[in-house]
Amino acid sequence: MSEAEQAPVSRAGYVAIVGRPNVGKSTLLNALVGQKVSITADKAQTTRHRILGIDTQPGVQFVFVDTPGYQTKHSNALNRVLNRAVTTALADVDVVLWVIEALRCGPDDRKLLSLLPANKPVILVMNKVDRVERKNDLLPFVAEVSKLRDFAAIVPVSATKPIQLDVLRAETAKQLPEGEAMFPEDEVTDRSMRFMAAELIREKVFRLVGDELPYESTVVIERFDETSQPGRIEVHANLLVASESQRAIMIGAGGERIKRIGTEARKGMEAMFECGVHLELWVKVKSGWADNEAGLRAYGYD
């Protein structure tokens, strides 16, 4: 990137968004970055990969690291890898946004807070304030949670409305080091199209399979071919599940469900990539993979 292309910023740095599943981390990231780069779903733990979203504002560039949902209920190898990913992602960030839901700070929230490095500035983000009916309830809640750590700032927000996101930006900017922009202004994610294709499929699986399957299913892109046909991308993907019964759930009666997952994922890809997409999906049983760390590494969850 030449100097002429660089946005005139005076601060730039890495921001991690952490919080227990479902507090709204992906929604917040999307609201801040202004374009869909991560996925959201009502089901917990949809974000397994580290995703970068970049928000360039006058005078400041935020590079967001969206860490995996922190899981405390199950403790198989998958969760150990996920929890380790939280710690790894935090090692080189400049500021951590610890997201909780307004009026709710349970044992899972506190446990995650206790894992945050003592020497990192942490901003407490109270999301979903739009749901709080009596705003007077916020003050005693803030007084209580502010005792948990010496926070750099405490900001009530709503990622969906949106409310107070500018205040959150301003408080976050204060914690970033002085320096030039690290990425071109129009760059919203460093993830490849192949990765985004997998994310789109995974999002549809979460939406359409819902609570019937545990989260132990994953998407592996076997083929991603942009070159053999002009204006059309060929995508072959495997949906890996843990058992035959999970396979049956994923496929659905008469193949209805997998067909819908495929159709919706394809439409999402066509909108995102702005070209035609041919998508082929297979559901495969990969028994015991969620308990096997070597297997997980092979699928890129390290």
User: Is 23 labelled as part of a ligand binding site?
Assistant: yes
Looking at beta carbons only, is 13 or 19 nearer to ligand GTP?
19
State the number of binding residues for ligand GTP (CB under 6 A).
23
- Taking CB under 6 A as the rule, does residue 53 contact ligand GTP? no
Closest to 197 (Cα-Cα) out of 161, 226, 240, 173: 226
User: Is 179 labelled as part of a ligand binding site?
Assistant: no
Residue choice 6, 57, 76, 160 for contact with ligand GTP (CB under 6 A): 160
Q: Which stretch binds ligand GTP (CB under 6 A): 49-57, 154-162, 270-278, 284-292?
A: 154-162
- Taking CB under 6 A as the rule, does residue 266 contact ligand GTP? no
- Taking CB under 6 A as the rule, does residue 27 contact ligand GTP? yes
Closest to 235 (Cα-Cα) out of 203, 270, 193, 280: 280
- Please return the burial class of 180, using the count of CB atoms within 10 Å of its CB with bins 0-12, 13-18 and 19+: middle
Query: Residue with structure tokens 């405490």?
Result: 154
What is the C-alpha separation between 28 and 34, in angstroms, rounded?
A: 10
Tokens standing for residue 188: 């919203």
Report the run of H or E that residue 28 belongs to, with start and end. helix 25-33
Residue choice 40, 56, 83, 217 for contact with ligand GTP (CB under 6 A): 40
Looking at beta carbons only, is 131 or 223 nearer to ligand GTP?
131
* Exposure of 141 in the CB half-sphere (CA atoms within 13 A): 21
Query: Residue with structure tokens 């939406």?
Result: 207
x-marked contacts with ligand GTP along 56-95 as a string, rule CB under 6 A: -------------x--------------------------
Looking at beta carbons only, is 9 or 66 nearer to ligand GTP?
66
Residue choice 108, 130, 180, 185 for contact with ligand GTP (CB under 6 A): 130
Q: Are 17 and 29 in contact (CB under 8 A)?
A: yes
**Rounded to an integer, what is the distance from CA 151 to the centroid of its chain?**
23
Residues in contact with ligand GTP by the rule CB under 6 A: 19, 21-27, 40-42, 44-47, 69, 127-128, 130-131, 158-160
